[in-house]
Amino acid sequence: MAFEDYDEYEQGEAVRKWIRENGIAVAVGVVLALLLIFGWRQWQAHKTSHRVQAASQFAVLQQAVQGSDKQAMAAALGDLQKNFADTPYAAFGSAAVAEFDVGNDDLKPAAQNLQWAMAHSKQPALKSLFTLRLARVWIAEGQAKQALAALDGVPAGDYGAIVAELRGDAQLKLGKSDAARTAYQQALAKLDQAAPQRNAVQMKLDNLTQPAAAPTGKHAQ
């Protein structure tokens, strides 16, 4: 037998021996790999289906809001919050119902839904947005201290002008005119000259800087 043939024979025997000794382990590894691939695909399919269902339920909620159907609204929101809390649709749904409640001057449930939306928002920008809405509702409710505490949680740089304006509104509710004036000035400094909300903030500031009216009648003496 030539050395080449002998080497090939030895190599073949070595391969066959390795397969005999490790064949089961290799087979198990292949099966596990296939199961992992299959499981991953199944999980991805489940996630996609889950998001589609959440989007569908959010559409139902939007129709209920547009139709002012409180019963359908409550049912759709309950389903979103219970079964789809891990999706953005649940937070958006809570905010949509809160907006509806604010429009109907029903501030307490609006605040509760905005708190839920804020707590379940994974994206920092959304959390900040819902915090601003919650602060605005609390100010309208007369809960100015809670509003200021909530605004403290908004990261620096996020909605800077709006945060400053809301701080001014909250301080004004608390009767702190100087603090309100400072906050409105900060808001104006952060706003572009062409910003549509600039006039509203300027009016709030002007109302604080106008001198008190002179007394009239017998009290003027």
Q: Give the number of other Cβ atoms within 10 Å of residue 55's Cβ.
A: 13
How far apart (Å, rounded) are the C-alpha atoms in residues 187 and 133? 17
The per-residue pLDDT for range 127-175, each reduced to its tens digit, is 999 999 999 999 999 999 999 999 999 988 778 999 999 999 999 999 9
How far apart (Å, rounded) are the C-alpha atoms in residues 152 and 207? 25
Length of the chain in terms of residues written: 221
Q: Give the number of other Cβ atoms within 10 Å of residue 50's Cβ.
A: 14
Alpha helix locations (H) across the chain? Answer: 3-66, 70-83, 88-103, 107-119, 124-141, 144-151, 160-173, 177-190, 198-209
How far apart (Å, rounded) are the C-alpha atoms in residues 124 and 151? 14
Q: What is the pTM of this model?
A: 0.72
Q: Are 84 and 57 in contact (CB under 8 A)?
A: yes
Q: What is the pLDDT along the chain (221 residues), one digit of tens a residue?
A: 444 444 555 555 665 555 566 656 555 565 566 566 656 565 555 567 778 888 999 999 999 999 999 999 999 999 999 999 999 999 999 999 999 999 999 999 999 999 999 999 988 889 999 999 999 999 999 999 999 999 999 988 778 999 999 999 999 999 999 999 999 999 999 988 888 889 999 999 999 876 544 444 444 43
